[in-house]
Every structure is written in structure tokens, then in C-alpha cells.
């Protein structure tokens, strides 16, 4: 879900570089097997002066990919890279890696006309906010050529296809899930910041103008001045909407919960002690609604607004990906297996 925002940032940067007469290369993860820090679609932009934006790993491959990308910028010839860890080896091409997995990365010139045309179309599709796909030839005749198409069903996933003559990476870009945070108090600021970094499109809702400002929530998708008895349709709540209610007012929390129970929101988190939450749920006869997480957040031993925000965002991610939270050491599959 981070790919949408990352892609938007990188596309904007590439277009700005091209307009300034500068060159760059784009590295994209196209396939992983076993354990890998990033998933297909993760991107690293390398500018001709060596500066970078984004990532394709946890830091173990970036220096190598950057060096190759600088050569791609000079030659104009794309490269398909493969990094692998053997079953009894801790080295990946002598880089000292030990991830017990493999990753394929496609590096292409980013500021040449053909790629720029596709990137401009991608920017248009990102602005529309609907799922779409980018098919890029990564090996064979015409490597580097991309076709943008859509809209797509949300069930589609990024993957690689090959017919023996060409290998094509089909990247599916799905809009980020919407998160509505009701309550713009000081403790909402780290929650909104962390949720944005995690990839959510965040809307902050409050009825107090002094709290609901761009200075307090600079990167929020929307700031909405609204009370529970207002027009909730302006929030555009759908099946991919998650909600956290934290107004610190019993009456407002209860009234907002009543509003969201009548919508298609997939997750509704309620901040506060268990006894308070149980009383609100009793008043609304909603104790059996499985969408309600009250008290909100995972049990991380959190203390203070920042740690509590981490516990809430962790639960949001688990709910969105439909994963049962737990320690990775107890997971029998590879880290990114569903």
C-alpha cells in the first residue's frame, strides 16, 4: 500500500528532473522469492548526481543498484538484475547479504522520452484515484517500453509474465485505504503522521477550527470540519475505509461510533479504557459488531502518544491485510507470505 504514494513522489521527481534538463534512472523490484524486505513494485530513483529517492531493499542492495543505475544513465541501456542467496551461502554476489531469498530488479533510464510519456500518464492515473496497471518489458525486444492500462479489479496483483521472447512486469497500483481519524487533539498528530508514512490516505475530522489546521496535520489528505450530527456523506465512507475515534469526549465518541456503525467501514477503532468502551457499546447495542476494536491498538506495552500511535497503526495494518498479529519468529512461512 506504500507503493501508491512512493510512485507518486518518484514520478513527480522524474518529471521535474527532465524539465530541468537532468537525467535519472529508475530501479523497480519486479519479482521476489523467499524473504525480501520490499515487494514487487518498490522503486528507487537514482539521479545523475547520485542522489536517490525510495528503496528496493532494507539498505543492503541500494549501493550496488545505485552504481549500476549510474551506468544505465550514461549508456541508456536498461539492465535486469538478479540477486540470490544460496541455501548454504550467506553471500549475494559478494555483497555480504544473508536474506535467504532472491530479488529481481529492473533498472531503466527514467528521463528519456518514451519513459517520460508513460510516467506522465501514470501521474494522470494517480490523480484519478482508481486502480490501474503498468506493463513494462523488462527483458527481450524493446526492453523498457511501458503501457498504462486500467481501471482494474482490486484483487489483481503485480506479477511477471514471459512468453519465451519477452518478459513483462505487470505492476498493479491500488489506491491506499482511507483512514478517518475523529479528533484532532495533540495525541492525534503522531497517529496521523505514522499512518501517512505507512501508506494510508488520512482524513482528520473535528468540529474545532483551532485544532483542525494544516500546520498541525501538514500531510493529511483532508481536514474536515464536522460534528457527528453533520453530513457524514462528505466523508465518502466505503468498504476500504478504516476509522479511529479519539475525541476524548464520551458523548462525541458514542455519537461518532453510532454514525460509523451505519456505514460500510471495515474497521472502527475506539480509544479509551475497556470499561468506557463497553459502556458505549452497550448504549448502542453494538457489542457483537466485529468491526469494532475497543480499546483500539495492539498490546505492545505502549506509553504516551507516540507509542500508542504505533500500536494503533500496527493494528490498522493487520486489519487491512487481514493478518493475525504475532511475532515473525513464530511464522512458519516467509515474511511476506499471506
The answer to the question of residue 213 being in a domain is yes
Asked whether 245 and 180 are in contact (CB, 8 A), the reply is no
The answer to the question of residue 76 being in a domain is yes
Asked whether 264 and 238 are in contact (CB, 8 A), the reply is yes
Please indicate, yes or no, whether residues 111 and 182 belong to a single structural domain of this protein. no
CA nearest to 28, candidates 115, 103, 120: 103
The answer to the question of residue 146 being in a domain is no
Model confidence at 38, pLDDT cuts 50, 70, 90, reads confident
Please indicate, yes or no, whether residues 182 and 313 belong to a single structural domain of this protein. yes
Please indicate, yes or no, whether residues 207 and 309 belong to a single structural domain of this protein. yes
Please indicate, yes or no, whether residues 228 and 120 belong to a single structural domain of this protein. no
The answer to the question of residue 12 being in a domain is yes
SS3 275: helix
Tens-digit pLDDT profile for residues 115-158 = 999 999 999 999 999 999 999 999 998 999 999 997 776 667 89
Please indicate, yes or no, whether residues 310 and 223 belong to a single structural domain of this protein. yes
Q: What is the pLDDT of residue 88?
A: 46
Tens-digit pLDDT profile for residues 59-94 = 889 999 999 999 999 999 999 999 985 444 444 444
Please indicate, yes or no, whether residues 104 and 196 belong to a single structural domain of this protein. no
* Continuous segment of H or E residues that includes residue 119: helix 113-128
Q: What is the pTM of this model?
A: 0.85
Q: How far apart are CA 274 and CA 190, in angstroms?
A: 22
Please indicate, yes or no, whether residues 101 and 183 belong to a single structural domain of this protein. no
How many domains is the chain built from? 2
For the chain, the average pLDDT equals 92
The answer to the question of residue 334 being in a domain is no
End residue of a domain, out of 98, 125, 152: 125
Q: How far apart are CA 175 and CA 73, in angstroms?
A: 30
Please indicate, yes or no, whether residues 196 and 88 belong to a single structural domain of this protein. no
Quick one: 57 exposed, middle or buried, by C-beta within 10 A (0-12, 13-18, 19+)?
A: buried
Runs of H (alpha helix) within 49-100 = 62-75
The answer to the question of residue 131 being in a domain is no
CATH of the domain at 188: 3.40.50.720
SS3 298: coil
Please indicate, yes or no, whether residues 104 and 33 belong to a single structural domain of this protein. yes
The answer to the question of residue 222 being in a domain is yes
The answer to the question of residue 335 being in a domain is no
Please indicate, yes or no, whether residues 202 and 315 belong to a single structural domain of this protein. yes
Domain that holds residue 244: 178-321
CA nearest to 152, candidates 130, 128, 122, 177: 130
Model confidence at 337, pLDDT cuts 50, 70, 90, reads low
Amino acid at each position: 500500500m506504500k507503493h501508491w504514494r512512493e510512485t507518486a513522489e518518484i514520478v513527480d521527481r522524474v518529471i521535474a528532473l527532465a524539465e530541468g534538463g537532468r537525467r535519472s534512472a529508475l530501479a523497480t523490484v519486479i519479482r521476489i522469492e523467499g524473504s525480501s524486505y520490499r515487494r514487487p513494485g518498490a522503486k528507487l530513483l537514482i539521479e545523475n548526481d547520485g542522489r536517490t529517492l525510495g528503496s528496493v531493499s532494507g539498505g543492503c542492495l541500494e549501493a550496488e543498484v545505485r552504481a549500476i543505475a549510474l551506468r544505465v544513465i550514461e549508456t541508456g541501456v536498461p539492465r535486469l538484475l538478479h540477486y540470490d542467496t544460496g541455501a548454504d551461502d550467506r553471500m549475494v554476489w559478494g555483497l555480504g547479504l544473508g536474506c535467504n531469498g532472491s530479488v529481481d530488479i529492473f533498472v531503466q533510464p527514467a528521463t528519456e522520452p518514451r519513459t517520460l510519456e508513460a510516467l506522465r500518464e501514470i501521474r494522470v492515473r494517480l490523480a484519478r484515484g482508481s486502480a490501474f496497471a503498468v506493463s513494462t518489458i523488462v527483458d527481450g525486444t524493446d526492453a523498457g517500453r511501458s503501457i498504462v492500462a486500467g481501471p482494474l479489479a482490486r484483487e489483481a496483483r503485480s506479477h511477471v509474465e514471459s512468453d519465451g521472447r519477452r518478459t513483462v512486469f505487470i505492476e498493479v497500483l491500488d489506491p491506499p485505504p482511507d483512514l478517518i481519524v475523529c479528533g484532532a487533539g495533540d495525541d492525534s498528530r503522531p497517529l496521523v503522521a505514522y499512518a501517512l508514512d505507512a501508506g494510508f490516505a488520512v482524513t482528520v475530522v473535528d468540529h474545532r477550527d483551532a485544532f483542525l489546521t494544516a500546520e498541525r496535520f501538514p500531510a493529511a489528505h483532508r481536514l474536515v470540519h464536522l460534528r457527528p450530527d453533520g453530513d457524514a456523506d462528505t466523508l465518502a465512507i466505503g468498504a476500504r475505509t478504516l476509522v479511529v475515534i479519539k475525541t476524548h469526549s464520551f458523548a462525541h465518541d458514542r455519537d461518532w461510533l453510532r454514525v460509523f456503525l451505519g456505514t460500510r467501514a471495515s474497521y472502527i477503532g475506539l480509544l479509551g479504557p475497556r470499561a468506557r468502551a463497553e459502556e458505549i457499546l452497550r448504549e448502542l447495542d453494538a457489542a457483537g459488531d466485529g468491526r469494532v476494536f475497543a480499546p483500539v491498538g495492539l498490546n505492545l506495552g505502549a506509553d504516551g502518544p507516540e507509542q500508542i500511535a504505533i500500536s494503533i497503526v500496527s493494528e490498522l495494518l493487520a486489519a487491512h491485510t487481514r493478518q493475525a498479529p504475532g511475532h515473525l519468529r513464530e511464522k512458519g512461512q516467509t515474511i511476506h507470505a499471506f
